[in-house]
């Protein structure tokens, strides 16, 4: 009996450690953003549709908005596009697009073909704003509140479940969670 | 026949190693050269200990993807601005979290990660010591009647 006590105890300890590890990784491969609860990075970038004006984080203060990082080269962005159009039509909050390392002409063509869900589109040609936001793979979506604080981040194509269960309940006046 | 087979096998091994060495050079994806060799050394050290977030088991230095190039550019610019290695690491962690560091910092959250190997070593040493002591006690017990 004594012979097995120590190996069994070691095995039990290993099981506990691994169980904790599994429980603390809610989604495989998803990295929790250190930006949550912190002010969103400042940016001022050229606008896709309005070359005369910049899309700037300062001008967005005072409103909740979704910052959606996308690109025409991004397969997942095509997958979430329908959901973005639905989100636009729900009029819950404005969608701001961050077009990441993309070609302007292609971006215009994409929006003409599939519809434009965005109120404004910031062009991040250099990729520096995306790095400031800790983006590592489009599409990524940030929920930013009226004070400019990052409230929530979602990595991957936006789904209806994420929209109704994660984003809408966080908005002021949407305490119930249903749209 | 046998010697021909051996030669053939040796040829295959040599060719394989040559190809591996050549492609290894091709995989050196980062052409960045900083003006100061000391900066360059720090740049190489940093890019080898920061993770490419897109292909998560490669370092920034080894990864050919776009995002790694963007992050290398940031490392280069921060070093040229005179930032310290710790400031560069902090800059990365502020954006991508602890995960970007291949060598995690010591913090309450990572304490077990750093301490576990030492604890495991001590436990192993303890087990070894007990076994050795048990065996030597047996030897003593055996040798006693012979001596006496």
Contact A77, A155 (CB under 8 A): no
CA-nearest of A139, A164, A136 to A74 is A139
**Residue contact A34–B94, C-beta within 8 A:** yes
- Segment A133-159 mean pLDDT: 95
Q: Which of A67-76, B48-57, B126-135 has the lowest mean pLDDT?
A: B48-57
Return the pLDDT at B141.
62
Query: Is the predicted pLDDT of residue A30 greater than 80, yes or no?
Result: no
Please give the pLDDT value at position A130. Answer: 96
Chain A residue with CA closest to B98: the answer is: A34
Q: Do the Cβ atoms of A136 and B94 come within 8 Å?
A: no
Distance from CA of B148 to the nearest CA of A (A): 33
User: Tell me: the pLDDT tens digits for A64-117?
Assistant: 999 999 999 999 999 999 999 999 999 999 999 999 999 999 999 999 999 999
Assess B53–A contact: CB distance below 8 Å, yes or no: yes
- Is A32 in contact with B74 (Cβ distance < 8 A)? no
Instruction: State the total domains in chain A.
Output: 1
Residue A150 has a CB neighbour count (10 Å cut-off) of 21
Q: Where are the beta strands (DSSP E) in A10-50?
A: 44-46
A45: domain range? 33-170
Burial B19-31 (b: 16+ CB within 10 A, else e): eeeeeeeeeeebe
A165, part of any domain: yes
Percent of chain B topping pLDDT 70 = 86
Residues of chain B with Cβ-Cβ distance to A34 below 8 Å are 93-97
pLDDT(B26) > 70? no
Distance CA B93, CA B99 (A): 8
Chain A residue with Cα closest to B54: A136
List the alpha helices (DSSP H) in A24-151.
Answer: 57-60, 75-90, 104-114, 128-132
Helix, coil or strand: residue A8: helix
User: What is the distance between the alpha carbons of residues A9 and A152, in angstroms, rounded to a whole number?
Assistant: 40
Which residues of chain A make contact with B96, given a CB cutoff of 8 A?
31, 34, 134, 136
| Residue carrying the six token digits 């269960």 | A165
Q: Is residue A13 part of a domain?
A: no
- Is residue B48 pLDDT above 60, yes or no? yes
Which class for A93: exposed (0-12), middle (13-18), buried (19 or more C-beta within 10 A)? buried
Q: What is the pLDDT of residues B66-113, one digit of tens each?
A: 999 999 999 999 999 999 999 999 999 999 988 899 887 888 877 888
To the nearest whole number, what is the mean pLDDT of chain A?
A: 90
Relative to beta strand A54-56, strand A44-46 is antiparallel
- Which of A41, A95, A33, A36 has its CA nearest to residue A63? A95
Nearest residue on chain B to A32, alpha-carbon basis: B97
Calpha distance A111→A70 (Å, rounded): 12
Q: Nearest C-alpha of chain A: how many angstroms from B25?
A: 26
> Which CATH number belongs to the domain containing residue A87 in this structure?
3.40.30.10
């Amino acid at each position: 009996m004594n012979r097995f006590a120590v190996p069994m105890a070691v095995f039990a300890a290993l099981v506990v450690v691994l169980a904790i590890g599994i429980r603390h990784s809610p989604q495989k491969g998803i990295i929790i953003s250190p930006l949550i609860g912190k002010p969103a990075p400042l940016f001022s970038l050229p606008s896709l549709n309005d070359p005369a004006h910049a899309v700037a984080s300062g001008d967005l203060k005072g409103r909740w908005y979704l910052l959606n990082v996308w690109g025409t080269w991004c397969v997942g962005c095509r997958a979430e596009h329908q959901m973005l159009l639905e989100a636009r039509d729900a009029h819950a909050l404005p969608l701001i697009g961050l077009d990441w390392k993309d070609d302007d002409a292609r971006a215009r063509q994409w929006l003409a073909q599939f519809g434009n869900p965005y109120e404004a589109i910031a062009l991040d040609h250099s990729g520096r704003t995306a790095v400031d936001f800790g983006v590592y793979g489009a599409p990524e979506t940030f929920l930013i509140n009226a004070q400019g604080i990052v409230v929530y981040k979602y990595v991957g194509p936006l789904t209806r479940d994420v929209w109704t269960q994660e984003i809408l309940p966080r908005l002021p006046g949407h305490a119930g969670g249903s749209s | 026949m046998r010697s021909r087979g051996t030669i053939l096998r040796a040829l295959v091994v040599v060719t394989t190693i040559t190809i591996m060495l050549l492609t290894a050079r091709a995989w050196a994806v980062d052409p960045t050269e900083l003006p100061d060799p000391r900066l360059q050394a720090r740049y190489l050290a940093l890019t080898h200990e920061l993770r490419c977030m897109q292909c998560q088991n490669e370092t920034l230095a080894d990864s050919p993807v776009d995002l790694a190039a963007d992050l290398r550019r940031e490392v280069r610019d921060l070093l040229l601005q005179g930032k310290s290695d710790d400031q560069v690491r902090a800059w990365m962690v502020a954006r991508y979290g602890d995960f970007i560091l291949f060598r995690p910092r010591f913090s309450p959250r990572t304490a077990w990660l750093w301490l576990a190997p030492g604890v495991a070593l001590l436990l192993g040493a303890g087990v070894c010591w007990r076994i050795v002591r048990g065996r030597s006690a047996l030897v003593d017990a055996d040798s006693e009647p012979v001596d006496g």
